[in-house]
Amino acid sequence: MSDFKHSIILCDRGSLDGLAYWPGNDDEFFQAMDTTLADELARYDAVIFFESAAKSGESIKSNNHIRNESEKVAIILDDKLQTIWSQHPNFNLIQSAESFINKVMFSITTIEKIIEQYQKDSG
């Protein structure tokens, strides 16, 4: 990690996302993955969680043919993922909004705040 201490890596998905899709219980997931919740959360300095458009009644259909769940299933998965990731001490929720531009602008502001805090803390 020390080689990248001044780097920022943004990931579209995280190591705990699989837990929302896991058919068994949480303990079985962590045992199968040979890890713990604490260890996985510690891999991230911050979490920015983008709430599904389905939460605000928007369609999730797009040109992504791999995404095949319904809006109802998207909300269920979103709730599971939010429950998992919200346990991170630096969890940031970007709520679904009718305006995608507003959602993007709020996310940029959130990223800027995280970077500013990181620079202040590592100063």
pLDDT tens, residue by residue, 76-98:
999 999 999 999 999 999 988 77
pTM: 0.84
Which of the four pLDDT bands, split at 50, 70 and 90, describes residue 113? very high
| Beta bridge mates, 92 | 48
- Rounded CA gap, 119 and 116, in Å? 5
**How far, CA to CA in Å, does 105 sit from each of 14, 60, 112, 116?**
22, 20, 11, 17
Spell out the residues 6+ positions from residue 27 whose beta carbon is closer than 8 angstroms to its own. none
> How does DSSP classify residue 47?
E
- 40 or 56: which carries more pLDDT confidence? 40
> How does DSSP classify residue 60?
-
Give backbone dihedrals phi and psi of 32, rounded to 5 degrees, phi first: -65, -35
